[in-house]
Amino acid sequence: MRNPDLNLLVTLDVLLTEGSVARASRRLQLSASAMSRALARLRALTGDPILVRAGRGLVPTPRAAELRGSIGRIVEEARAILRPGEAIDVSEAERSFTIRSSDGFVENFGPEIVARVGRKAPGVQLNFVPKPDKDSASLRDGSVDLETGVIGPAMGPEIRAQALFRDRFVGVVRRGHPLARGRMTIQRYADGRHVLAARRGGPDRGPVEDALAASGQARRIVARVGGFSAALSLARDTELIATVPERHTGRLRKGMHSFALPFAVPEIPVSMFWHPRHDADPVHRWLRECVRAVAASRSASAR
């Protein structure tokens, strides 16, 4: 066969990212007819429909879904090859990055990340947005540049990940609470009144319930909130017990009594995630290193 038009790789990458001929044509600044012709050429070259009709929209074929991650990497690597090789001075960078993370991560690690970035790159703006789910669609479509959290089944196979630290659950009560005195036991913990931090629509059962059940115990949940900050706020002024990740809540727990859980619960592996399109971006790479360094220093001093 003749050498294929490698420009079609860029077209394929955008089509698979957007899932729409109209949106892809706007992003590439092509007419709808030109994009349709490009899709027809891709179908002829690959022998696959690439995108097929599903209701009012288009969905990728199994072959296209399989190609999505590798195509993005190939296109970004090609751009990196053609990009000027000189080092980037981050102090002159004028960029804006969106970071998706839990409220606990922002409150515990955000101030130092902002300070570190501000010292070296005053022209870089950080936009922290909430993380209501574990879907990686926002990383794929570019609306989020970096994310922190736990790897879940909804994470796309092409998404890059780097471990930051391991967290553990601890119990937290107000100063003067009866559980702040004496030896903590499973029975004392289970007999208390608890506040649960869970995403909206998330399960009521988690690793703490599983660990308690293994010992024949169960805790009584009397309040449910959407995040660790709210759980600690309730526990600070009531008799409730909040069970939260230790390193995510170091600042939030100040002035309260924290205790190790009297039973074994698996640790939480916390990572940061990004799309492979940013692998070769020197400013994005520098930002990732800032986040990694802050997480390492803060987590080491949290215990």
All structural domains of the chain: 7-82 (1.10.10.10), 90-167+269-300 (3.40.190.10), 169-266 (3.40.190.10)
CA gap 178, 278 in Å, rounded = 51
pLDDT at residue 72, as a whole number: 79
Greater pLDDT, 72 or 101:
101
Q: How many CB atoms lie within 10 A of CB 247?
A: 25
168-194 pLDDT, tens digit each: 999 999 999 999 999 999 999 999 999
Say if residues 58 and 21 touch (Cβ distance below 8 Å): yes
Q: pLDDT at residue 303 above 50?
A: no
Tally of CB atoms within 10 A around 287: 27
- Of 48-57, 78-87, 92-101, 293-302, the range with the lowest mean pLDDT is 78-87
Whole-angstrom CA distances from 83 to 99, 166, 281 are: 25, 36, 10
**Beta strands, E only, 73-188:** 95-100, 124-129, 146-149, 160-167, 169-173
**E strand segments, the chain:** 51-54, 57-60, 95-100, 124-129, 146-149, 160-167, 169-173, 193-197, 220-225, 241-245, 257-260, 268-274
Query: In this predicted structure, what is the pLDDT of residue 206?
Result: 83
Which residues, 6 or more positions from 248, have their beta carbon under 8 angstroms from its beta carbon? 102, 104, 105, 108, 167, 228, 270
The DSSP bridge partners found for residue 127 are 98
d(CA 68, CA 48): 14
- Check: CB of residue 208 under 8 Å from CB of residue 265: yes
In DSSP terms, 197 is beta-bridged to 225
The confidence band for 86, taking pLDDT boundaries of 50, 70 and 90, is low
The sheet with strand 169-173 has its strands ordered as 220-225, 193-197, 241-245, 169-173, 257-260
Q: For the chain, what is the total number of helices (H) and then of strands (E)?
A: 10, 12
3 state SS of 80: helix
Residue-wise pLDDT tens digits, 33-46: 999 999 999 999 88
Tokens (6 digits) for 37? 């012709």
> Does residue 263 carry a pLDDT above 80?
yes
Q: Region 117-143: what's the mean pLDDT? A: 89
